[in-house]
Amino acid sequence: QVQLVESGGGLVQPGGSLRLSCAASGRIISIDAMAWYRQAPGKQRELVAQITSGGSTNYADSVKGRFTISGDNAKNTVYLQMNSLKPEDTAVYYCNADRLLTRSNWPYGMDYWGNGTLVTVSS
């Protein structure tokens, strides 16, 4: 079975840093892109950062210059380095795999989500 597992969340003071990791496992043929989303209480889930299998990236305006997304195609793993954290970054962060392809879901692929990891930025 395909599984996405996030790690690295926790409590950090404003101005601090955290590094999130997400590893996709299973009999994976390919993934078009992986991304980090977040959802704060009372708000809609929003895209934070995305990276394609080719290495191109895009970021939400609110995190540009502070967050960096990177990936390891060989390990089907994506990272989110979060620096200069602000209280408004507090949210549950979810890992997403876009059009993850296996023999079972061939030829269309499917989107998969992790269960989320909580990031709390507070003094």
Please, what is the Cα angle at 57 between 65 and 27, to 5 degrees?
130
Q: Which residues contact 61 (CB under 8 A, 6 or more apart)?
A: none
Q: Which residues contact 56 (CB under 8 A, 6 or more apart)?
A: none
d(CA 111, CA 99): 5
Q: Determine the pLDDT at residue 26.
A: 96
Structure confidence by residue, pLDDT tens digits, 64-119: 999 999 999 889 999 999 999 999 999 999 999 999 999 999 999 999 999 999 99
DSSP 44: -
Instruction: Place 24 in a pLDDT band, splitting at 50, 70 and 90.
Output: very high
Please give the distance of CA 46 from its chain centroid, rounded to a whole number.
Answer: 11
Structure confidence by residue, pLDDT tens digits, 54-63: 999 999 999 9
Q: In the predicted model, what is the mean pLDDT of the chain?
A: 96
Lookup result for tokens 């269960």: 115
Among 82, 93, 64, 77, residue whose Cα is nearest residue 21: 77
Q: Determine the pLDDT at residue 122.
A: 97
Instruction: Place 46 in a pLDDT band, splitting at 50, 70 and 90.
Output: very high
